Each structure stands twice: as structure tokens, then as C-alpha cells.
Chains A and B, each alone.
Chain A
Amino acid sequence: MIVINILGILIIALIIYWFWLYKPKEVSAISDEITVIVENGNYQPARIKLAAGQLSTIKFMRKDESPCSGSVLFPDYNISEELPLNKNKTIVLPAMPKGEYAFHCQMQMYRGTILVE
């Protein structure tokens, strides 16, 4: 029983580490054009690095049929765009100051972060 309890506590610790504490590596869009693939309930990549103080462009390619994935919101900048299925959608982001900005679907099941440096 002790082993099972320890195992249970380890699983809980793992959940906390994996979903909250771990910060995945971001993909830089500073020099390259970036395309975010919307597929299987995820944005890929979900962490994007952008340069501070300049306009940026991100392309979204939605391959996910779920209507949840049909729109993407950048709430800090009041941007909301519809993503057509299997087509590129270019979104121009305004010049942003340094910081972290979220982007997500209407229901926040698909989530991503923009890291402005």
C-alpha cells in the first residue's frame, strides 16, 4: 500500500511539474516566417518568440475539423480571426512591448503563448 501511495503522490507531482512548472522551448519567429499548425487540439508550435516593438506576422494553418479551432484570439490586442480549414491565414500582430501574451481559441482549449523579447 505504501508503494501505491508513493506512486500516487509521484503522479500528482508529475502532473504539477509537466503541466504547470515546465516551460517548453519557444520557437523564434524573429528571423523566419512562422506557421502555426492547428491540429489535434493543439497549436504547434505553442510558444513563439517575437521581437519587441515591431509588426509581426504569423500564419495559421488549421487542419483540425473541430469548430472550437475555428477562431483564434489574441485578447491583449483585441484581435480575433477566423481560421478556415486547410488554408493559410495570415495574422498581423501590432508592435508589442516585452512580455508574454496568450493566444487561444474561443474556449481556451487550444492555447499558445507569444514571448516578446
Chain B
Amino acid sequence: MQETIQNQSEHTHCDKHKAETSNTLSQDLIIEGAGCASCVGKIETALKEIPGVASAIMNFAQRTVTVEGNVSDVTLINAIEKAGYNAKSSAGATDDELLDEKEQADWKYYKRLMREMKIALGLGVPLMVYSLLGGPMTVETNVERGIWLSIGLLCGAVMFFAGKHFYIGAWKSFKNHSANMDTLIALGTGTAWLYSMVVVFFPFAVPEMARHVYFEATAMIIGLINLGLALEVKARGRTSEAIKRLIGLQPKTARVIRDKKELDIPIEQVLLNDMVRVRPGEKIPVDGVVIEGHTAVDESMLTGEPMPVEKFKDDEVVAGTINKSGSVVFKATRVGKDTALAQIIGMVKRAQNSKPPIGRLADVISAYFVPVVMIISVVSALVWLNFGPDPAVAFAIVSATTVLIIACPCALGLATPMSVMVGVGKAAEAGVLIRNGEALQTASKITAMILDKTGTITLGAPKVTDVILAGDHSEDKVLLLAASLESGSEHPLAMAIVESANDKGIEPYKVNNFHAIAGHGVGGEVNGNALLFGNEKLMEEQGIRVGKYIDAAQKLAEEAKTPMYFAVNGKLAGIIAVADPIKEDSISAIERLQDNGIRVVMLTGDNRATAKAVAKKAGISEFYAEVLPEEKAIKVSELQQQGEIVGMTGDGINDAPALAMANVGFAIGTGTDVAIESADITLMRGSLHGLADAIAVSKATLRNIKQNLFGAFVYNVAGIPFAAGVLYPFFGLLLNPVVAGAAMAFSSVTVVSNANRLRFFKPQDH
């Protein structure tokens, strides 16, 4: 039965009350632990007893309470907790809302910048055209003085309306003993304007040849820089596409079953242990465990794994993934900020804002950059005044202004963070979660990769691969008896046999007198049959002849399988071989790593024969067998001593010390398990291709950062001396401040656009 509860009377009452007490605060709280209708009275009373609370009305169906009054949410939550329930505020904005707000704010800012750009260029362009067409920009007569005075005042108005943010910012920074881009723009345009006004008011105070006005430069520079900032805002928006996509995966509502009724509620109101129904085609709203029904779920948006994953009772489902086929009911196990999706979003956001070590030099330079540029500008003016040709004052003003305008601290500052932002997002799209900028940078330099065998190269779930019959019993009978015997054991190999029987629909019998024979195998009675299951030694000791089957067992061992003998009533009935198969794409992924010049090493606790066989099959020539978990970290450090930059890949739990010791620890997640703290990089799908993808994305990002840093350095290192006029003595070249303004405006746009190129990077098709 499906029914959406809308408690109209409560809402009407609430709305009316809101109108009456419009001066007081209204807030909604989400209540946990309210199981019966009688809780409503208790909670409402507890809240109403707080001084300052005007009303408290609970919506039992939605488990929310609306409180009116000037009381902080902490006080309200405390009162509810004292009454024996848990509560949380629903006021916290969701990621979705924050993103919307950010986009709206950016759009508003963009429109403002474009408007200001139009105002400034509206004056700057005609003046510029006039000057280019040979119109005199000098002040000679009184008429010219009058005209230029009007234009100068107009230019002052443009500076106020279109560029006041530069001047206010510069002044506030100055008061704060800091300097930034605003300082440079304000000083540059301010100098040009002030000098021009001096020429207008006191033309005879400057040499005749220097009676030149630069109003067109002032207006053009303000216009161009505003345009550059606007384009940068646009380009920046694109750098956060990946996180936007992740946030977009979160559905807004969920259908929960409460009191045997189904109701649609906002996602924030879903409580732990709520029963949630998801129909085909809908998104899973929160994390949980399937209670009823079965389905296939598309998890590709989180793991990058294209094949839908079958989900049966007791299987985990994860928020943001899409239910493809069946209708299921699941119990919510993680809600709100605890869901895997919320954690992924949080982790990606943090990583996007962190900085790899390569950016540190740029940071140090940024810290000194602006004051240094100001000093260069003064020095340049002094040099022109002392040694420059006539009109030295005009040359000094032009060079000082141009130096201030062309210098772009933004390009340097943006170079690293923009690429990291796009690179980390790109990796997340491929199911690779990078913890921080340092991990990103080190991953790009890895020279050796250690792979744990079980669960990394192999599936980590042993399966029965061969059943060789030695007596009169059929294969099913052998499996039935073996599974019946092994149903009492918890050994992974025993579980593989029981599972294999289950897969074939074989129902095991009850086992009597089950006993383990240490190091050899197990024994017991099933349906009156005396059964033994174990290695060759066990058979020998029990006097059971294995004869010609020794060769078959040997052959199986060479194929990376573990053969075990099975005897019924003192006679050999067959050999059952169990193996942990290599993941389908491990071989091609390992080849990809090796093609990139990475030395691949396999570690395993297994015996040498199995290890050798697995390594051979996987295409790995270097392996270490019978390594205890605690010895894995030692192997990592041995490789490091050989000068290798070591990546270690493991399951994140048993391999934690080795992951921590490695230069970069990779944890192979099982599906969407992101709670792996010891890893620098988490691969959300089981495939080793994630590893090669992670390294490829890291390399591409680092390459992009280097391009950006190189571009920004070269731009500033070449641009500033050019602006100061070092080429003038040789070629008579001096940069126009307007050209400097255009160059500065577009240098940061170029950096952001180059970072955006990473969005199209594909980590090799596979």
C-alpha cells in the first residue's frame, strides 16, 4: 500500500502560527528515536518548557518538529535529548544547496564584471581608436585643456563605477600591510590618471614633450581586467564539474516505510534503520542493506565499473547508485554526512583544495611578488628619469605603469590549484579517490609497484576449479559429501567448497563427529559414510592409496591451484582443487603498468608454488612468497633503499603498515567502501586498471601544472623587464600599458583554460 502522508491540519496550523510570530525564529529539527505517537506530547512539552519557545509542533509521520521562538538549536536539541530522544537541526545547507548558492553568486559576480567592463570600454575604446588614428593626446591649448579635463573627469567616474573594487581592495590591503592584484591595478591606473590630470591642470609643470594624457589607458585597463576576471569566473566554474556531477547523484527525496505506510520525505529526514523502498529506475537515496527483493544496481557513477552489480538480501547498497531492475526494500545503515557518497564528496573537495609540493615555490614567490613588482616599478621610473631620453618623465610614467599592470600574480597563484581541482575531479570520475595533492604528485613519479596477491591480483574469493573423480561416485555426490563435511569448518577453502555446492543447488547433509586433523585436513561422518578430506599426507597416514592421482594433483598445483584428496569409507573418491582466480583484467592492467616503465613486484603469504604460478600467469617476474603481513612493510622499505619510489597496493586492512610505509599507498576498495584511512589513493572498483588510471591521471595533472607554472613564470619573467623598457635601448621598443593590461587579463584566463583541458583527458581505453 502506498500513501503519501501530508498532514494538512498541522501545516495549516503551522503556517498560521508563523504569520503571527513573524518576528521570532522558526526552525525545524529532525527527531530520532520517536517510535510511538505518545512521544509527540513528550517532545512538544519538553520544548515548550524552554523559556523563549513560543510553540513546538511535531509532525510524527515525518519525524520533524517545528519550533518557533528565539532559542538556539543547541538548547532545543539538549532539551530533546534530556527527554530521551536524539535530534539534529535540518538547517544545515546540503551540498546541493551550497552549490546552487555558489553558482548564483558566481553568475551575479560575472554579470557585474561584464557590466563594469562595458562601462570602462565604452570610454576606453573610442579614446583608443582616436589615439590610434593619430588624434593628438597632448595638452597644448586652453581648449584642449578643457576637453581633456572633461574626459579626465569622465574617466574618474569610470574608475569609480567600473573599478572601485580595485581601489577599495588595494586600500584595505594596504591598511592591512598586505598587497595583492588590486594593489597593482589600482597603482597602475591611478598613476596614469593622476599624471594625466597633472598634465591637464599644470601643463607647464612638465616638459613640453611629456604633456601627454593617458586616460584611454586607464579606462582600457580597467575594462580589460574586468573582462579577464569575468572570463576567469566562467572558466573556474567548469573546473568544478566533477564535484557537481557527484553532488548531482544525490537524490532529493526518499520513500520510507513508517508505521506500515510508505511516504516520500526529503532525504535529510531519513533516519538510521528506516526501511526505504526503491523502485526500478530510481536512485538509491542513502546507504543500506537489502532486506527484501533483489535487483541489479548500476554503480558506475561511483566506481567506474560499467557492469551492473546484482543485489540480494543482506547485500549493501550505496546512495547515488541507480536501481536498474527490481523493486527492493532496504534498511538505512548510513544517512546524511555518513553515506559513502557524502564521504567521497567531502574527500574530493578536500583533495581539490590541497596543494602538491610542486606548487610551493609558486606560493613562496606569490608571497613576495607584489611588493617586488612595486619596487621594480619605482626602480624602472628612476632609471628612465636619470638616463632616459626626452621626454624622460613620460617614459618613466609609462614604464612604471606598464610594469605594475603587466605583472600577474594571479597566473602564478592559479597555476597549481586549478589543475589539481580538475585532475582530482577527473580521477574521482574514474573511481579513483586521491587523498591530497602530495599523493597526486608522488603517484606521478612511482617507479616500482608492489601488489599484494590475494584480493588485489586475484579475486580474493577461492573457488572450486576442478573435481577429478577417482571412484564410483558422481561429481555431484562428491561435492555433496565434501560440502556436508566442510559445512562445519570456517576455513576459506572449506567455504569455497560449500559455496560451490550451493551454486549447484546442492543442500548439504548434517555432519557428525567432525574433527580437524591439524595441518592435514578434516574428517567426519555424513549419512553413515566415514569421510576424510585433506592433503596427501593425511591419505598416507590413514592408509588410503592415491596411486596415479599424485600426478594429477601435481599438475593442478603447478596451475596455481590447491588440490585436496577426498576419501569415502577408506577409499579415494576424488581430488577437489580450489583456487583463487586471477581477476579478469589483472593481466592487462599489469601490462599497462609495465609498459609505463614501472617495476611490478608481487607479495604473498601463500606457498612458493602457488605464488610462482600466479605470478607467471599475471606476467610478473619478480615475486616474494610466504611473506608474513608484518614483513610486507620491510619489503617496501627494501625497495625504497634501492632508490625506487614505491607504490603499494593492498586491501587497506591487513596491509595498513605497508601502505603507510610506501611512498604512495593504494587501497583496493570493495565496491564503494571508502573508509580506508591508511591509503593515499583509494581505488573504488576492484580492477587493477584503476591503478594504471590513477598514475596516468597524476602524470597528466602534473604535466598540466608544470605547463601552467612554466607559462606563468615565463610570462612574468619576460613581461616585467619588457614593460620596464629593457628592449628600448636596443630596438626602441616600449610596451603600451593597454597591451600590458590585455596581456595581464588573459594570462590568468589562459592558465584556467589550460587546466580545463584536463577535463578531456582519458586514461587509456581498456
Contact = CB atoms under 8 A, between A and B. Distances in A.
B363 A108 contact: yes
Given A67-B236, A84-B102, A107-B414, A19 B179 contact: yes
B101 A84 contact: yes
Nearest to A19: B371
Contacts of B229: 66
Interface stretch (B207-215, B378-386, B526-534, B570-578): B378-386
Contacts of A80: 349-350, 353-354
B410 A107 contact: yes
A4 B382 contact: yes
A68 B103 CA distance: 14
Interface string B630-658: 00000000000000000000000000000
A46 interface: yes
A40 B106 contact: no
Interface stretch (B75-83, B168-176, B552-560, B684-692): B168-176
Interface string A53-69: 00000000000011100
A112 B271 CA distance: 40
A49 interface: no
B177 A19 contact: yes
B542 interface: no
A82 B436 CA distance: 16
Interface in A69-90: 70-71, 73, 75, 78, 80, 82, 84-85
B375 interface: yes
Contact of A40 (B112, B168, B375, B409): B168
B660 to A, nearest CB: 16
B105 interface: yes
Q: Is the interface of B mostly helix, strand, loop or mixed?
A: helix
Contact of B353 (A1, A42, A106, A108): A106
Contact of B176 (A12, A42, A66): A42
B325 interface: no
Nearest to B170: A41
A15 interface: yes
B366 interface: yes
A8 B383 CA distance: 10
A109 interface: yes
B180 A109 contact: yes
B247 to A, nearest CB: 12
A92 interface: no
Given A41-B182, A42-B169, A18 B386 contact: no
A100 to B, nearest CB: 13
Contacts of B370: 19
B177 A107 contact: no
A67 B350 contact: no
Contact of B172 (A19, A20, A40): A40
Interface in B336-381: 349-350, 353-355, 363, 366-368, 370-371, 374-375, 378-379, 381
Contact of A67 (B109, B165, B170): B109
Q: Which of A12, A40, A73, A84 has the most CB of B within 10 A?
A: A40
B235 to A, nearest CB: 10
A108 B367 contact: yes
B143 interface: no
Size category of the binding interface on chain A: 35 or more
Q: Which of A8, A41, A67, A70 has the most CB of B within 10 A?
A: A41
A82 B108 contact: no
Contacts of B106: 67
Q: Which of A12, A39, A106 has the most CB of B within 10 A?
A: A106
A40 to B, nearest CB: 4
B386 A5 contact: yes
A11 interface: yes
Given A1-B386, A4-B385, A107-B417, A42 B178 contact: yes
Contacts of B182: 40-41
Contacts of A78: 350, 354, 436
Contact of B413 (A40, A66, A106): A106
B467 interface: no
B98 A46 contact: no
Contacts of A75: 354-355
Contacts of B36: none
A18 B370 CA distance: 12
A44 interface: yes
A75 B173 CA distance: 22
A66 B228 CA distance: 13
B233 A67 contact: yes
B379 to A, nearest CB: 7
A66 B109 contact: yes
A95 interface: no
B93 interface: yes
A80 B367 CA distance: 19
Contacts of B174: 18
B366 A108 contact: yes
A24 interface: yes
A73 B355 CA distance: 10
A65 B108 contact: yes
Given A19-B178, A40-B169, A106-B417, A65 B112 contact: yes
A66 B112 CA distance: 11
Contact of A41 (B180, B349, B366): B180
B378 A8 contact: yes
Contact of A20 (B105, B169, B371, B413): B371
B413 A46 contact: no
A15 B374 contact: yes
Nearest to B106: A67
A90 B156 CA distance: 40
Q: Which of A70, A109, A110 has the most CB of B within 10 A?
A: A109
A18 B177 contact: yes
A7 B293 CA distance: 84
B181 interface: yes
B178 A111 contact: yes
Interface string A93-111: 0000000000000111111
Interface string B431-470: 0000010000000000000000000000000000000000
Contacts of A110: 180
A82 to B, nearest CB: 7
A44 B168 CA distance: 14
Given A80-B349, A108-B413, A22 B177 contact: yes
A1 B382 CA distance: 9
Contacts of B112: 65
B381 A8 contact: yes
B86 to A, nearest CB: 21
A12 B379 contact: yes
A73 B436 CA distance: 13
Nearest to A80: B353
A26 to B, nearest CB: 12
Interface in A2-53: 4-5, 8, 11-12, 15-16, 18-20, 22, 24, 39-44, 46
Given A41-B181, A42-B172, A85-B105, 14 more contacts: A5-B386, A12-B379, A15-B371, A16-B371, A24-B176, A40-B165, A41-B169, A43-B176, A46-B176, A66-B229, A75-B355, A82-B98, A106-B413, A109-B413
What 6 pairs across the A-B complex have the smallest Cβ distances? Answer: A107-B413, A80-B353, A41-B169, A65-B109, A19-B371, A40-B172
21 contacts: A1-B385, A8-B378, A12-B378, A20-B368, A40-B169, A41-B170, A41-B182, A42-B172, A42-B176, A44-B172, A66-B229, A73-B354, A75-B354, A78-B436, A80-B354, A84-B101, A84-B102, A106-B413, A107-B414, A109-B409, A111-B367
